[in-house]
Chain A
Amino acid sequence: MKRSVFLGTLAAAGLVAGVASAQTLADVQARGELNCGTSTGLAGFSFPDANGEWQGFDVAICRAVAAAVLGDATAVSFTPLTTQTRFTALASGEVDVLARNTTWTFSRDVDLQFEFTGVNYYDGQGFMASRELGVSSALELDGATVCIQTGTTTELNLADYFASNNMSYEPVPIETNAEAQQQYLAGACDVYTTDASGLAATRATFEDPSAHVVLPEIISKEPLGPLVRHGDSQWGDVVRWTLNAMIAAEELGITSANVTDMASAAGDNPEINRLLGTEGELGAMLGLENDWAVNVISQVGNYGEVFERFIGESTPIGLARGLNAQWTDGGLLYSPPFR
């Protein structure tokens, strides 16, 4: 709590200092480059490839915003941020948008004065255990040693969960996911707990993934999404509707392959027409070019394409869509209408 108050004070001070930069959209357009904060490395979500280009599911959000605002998905300057530096970097204006698998919580939204512009991944905390241990439910973990990353919400969730189920556990604090893998494989702990996406990514790297099970319980809600500073609603709208455009595009069947065709002339579906700018002036209302969504979808792809490319079942990370399916498929993705 003390820390968040401290960070909040810093953030507030940053806002006072940063009033002049309430015109983020104009600033970005003048600069010709988007400053985007990402993780220093998180499997599937942000990582540099062999050519030094940043890739990943979170990185794609940055690229999509750059494509919407500047028409060029490569016009992004990435700032790698740690969990400690991410909020100050955003509050002080060092980055324009933060897409760094950050959980949308009340205090971050209200107290730290940020604005979450949507959810790009619905995650939740899970457990992984060795198959030899013979547990099939997290409720059987009484007395287990648990590897857990320090200084994250997962630590608090774990304490809550075990306390409310009258179970005891012995925490093994570790610093990074890579270290956790080594500790878990070396048998320093019975169970490893972190976000379910992280568990899946970790398990996929094991020599013998089938020797480990991810337990069915998900003990927390972790809606991860991009965020911007309070007080610049126009810029918040740009980021929010860029994400919505990617989600809606998937729902409407627009892909990076067919978007140029569909945008060349107005079609039968008025919503597609409005989204792609062949009808109406939605882009101008946002302060962008009318083909903003076309740029996003053609250069980055729709939500489903990006998901499949970086974290989907065809990748080594192999995440199922689950909660992150369209609402029509029983998931939670639900873009407000483009009208």
Chain B
Amino acid sequence: MSETHAHSAAYVRREMLPQEAPPALETGAVKWLRENLFSSWLNGILTVVSLAFIWLVLSSILPWVVQGIWNAESLSECREIRDQLYGEGHEVACWAVLGDRWRQLLFGFYPPEHYWRVVLALVVFLAAIAPVLFESLPRKMLILTPLAPFIIFFLLWGGTIWGPLAVLLGFVIGWAIFTYGSPVVGNLGGTVLAILVPILYWLFIAGPIASGLGAILPIGLEFVASDEFGGFMLSFVIGIAGIVLSLPIGIFLALGRQSDLFIINKFSVIFIEVIRGVPLIVWLFTASLLLNYFLPPGTNFDLMLRVIIMVTLFSSAYIAEVIRGGLAALPRGQYEGADSLGLDYWQSMRLIILPQALKISIPGIVSTFIGLFKDTTLVVFIGLLDPIGFSNAIRASTEWNGIYWELFIFIGLCFFVCCFGMSRYSQYLERKLRTDHR
């Protein structure tokens, strides 16, 4: 080509130019700055103002945080050390309170020689929940999951090992009746029996069995009463128990509310509306104050158990509504498709409806869980010593009276880590489950 036009064109380049670096204004950090921070005069001014504001905030907070004092026995000692180091009137944090009292903020009054039990319980919980959360993990780990509640209960409260085992046996009985009894007495009869027999067993037989075995073979850990639970451990126990229990209850309530069976439908509707219509703090007061009067005198119905029950019921009503939203969002054709395949109700729910409905509901479910976890701090109003409660109690001691932000910052950080983790997981799950528009 170039041969042909060699005489007609004034100049023809015959070799490639070496690649030039892009103009300085169009590359790297400068380009990013120009495009994102200084794209126009207005944006440039806003950027500068924001930077000045951030600087103002950080320059007053960061020294307070970084120069904080970690080694002191009391607030007054903290102030003495500060006066020596930085001169009077220079505000710095007194993190020493965390060093002195972190055990109480994390474990409450749990006996220190048994802290390993709490940590182990947390490890068991994480190991049990991991295969549920992440599908890439070996499926064999799922064996641990149904056993975990009993292991965790045994680790935290201690006592004889036969109690949790006797309760576990009830579930095994129920499962056995359902699996082997259903063919004999029919599906409905099998279900009813599988619920009734274990309840009767728990009410009348489990106790004697546990105490009998305990007398013969006293295996167990030292008993720790629930009033020694406190701090983050208390928040975790209430929060996790509430979360784990409320999801299945919420699913059943949501299905019940859509059911055509009159009693089940009305029961679900009334339950959900009553529970949601009243603030959580009222339910907590009910648990701690009113129940005392309805129960026969002398019954010592554990306050923490009462709170867990109330929190679970409360959150299950919210979960039910979230899941009902997911069920309603499914196109009618999905239900009809399931019917036309000849699936019965439970099969169609299990295989077609719920997987889709739950997927849609994930953000709602997780935000309910996050709310529930943070709501556990409300128990401070009924005298349970959660981290907030302990911050009050710690402040009442003569050494730390007058300390304020340090404790709240620590508590806030711990809650943030947990809630942020949950939030990130839900985003991961949404990305993984997104099967459409890929």
Contact = CB atoms under 8 A, between A and B. Distances in A.
Nearest to B73: A50
A182 B404 CA distance: 8
Given A79-B227, A79-B383, A40 B393 contact: yes
B395 A178 contact: yes
B101 interface: yes
Contacts of A17: 293, 296-297
Contacts, number: 118
Given A21-B298, A206-B402, A178 B382 contact: no
Given A47-B396, A316-B76, A52 B289 contact: no
Interface in B275-324: 285, 288-289, 292-293, 296-298
Interface of B: 75-76, 79, 100-101, 103-104, 108-109, 225, 227, 285, 288-289, 292-293, 296-298, 380-385, 389, 391-399, 401-402, 404
18 contacts: A40-B389, A43-B396, A43-B398, A43-B401, A44-B398, A48-B393, A48-B397, A50-B100, A50-B101, A52-B108, A77-B225, A77-B227, A88-B288, A204-B401, A205-B75, A205-B402, A206-B402, A316-B76
Given A48-B109, A52-B109, A205-B402, A21 B227 contact: no
A167 to B, nearest CB: 30
Nearest to B107: A52
A17 B288 CA distance: 16
A13 interface: yes
Contacts of A315: 398
A11 B14 CA distance: 104
B96 to A, nearest CB: 11
A181 B404 contact: yes
A315 B392 CA distance: 19
Given A77-B227, A81-B383, A182-B404, A92 B292 contact: yes
Contacts of B100: 50
Contact of B104 (A48, A202, A205, A317): A48
A20 B297 contact: yes
Given A10-B293, A13-B293, A20-B298, A84 B381 contact: yes
A165 to B, nearest CB: 32
A32 interface: no
Among B100, B103, B293, residue most surrounded by chain A Cβ atoms (within 10 Å): B293
B224 to A, nearest CB: 12
A296 B359 CA distance: 64
A80 B401 contact: no
Nearest to A14: B293
Given A21-B297, A93-B298, A80 B389 contact: yes
Contact of B401 (A81, A84, A205): A205
Contacts of A20: 297-298
A237 interface: no
A85 B401 contact: no
Contacts of A84: 285, 289, 381-382
A52 to B, nearest CB: 5
A82 B404 contact: no
Nearest to A93: B297
A49 interface: yes
Contact of B393 (A47, A77, A92, A206): A47
Contacts of A82: 380-383
Nearest to A55: B397
A207 interface: yes
Nearest to A87: B289
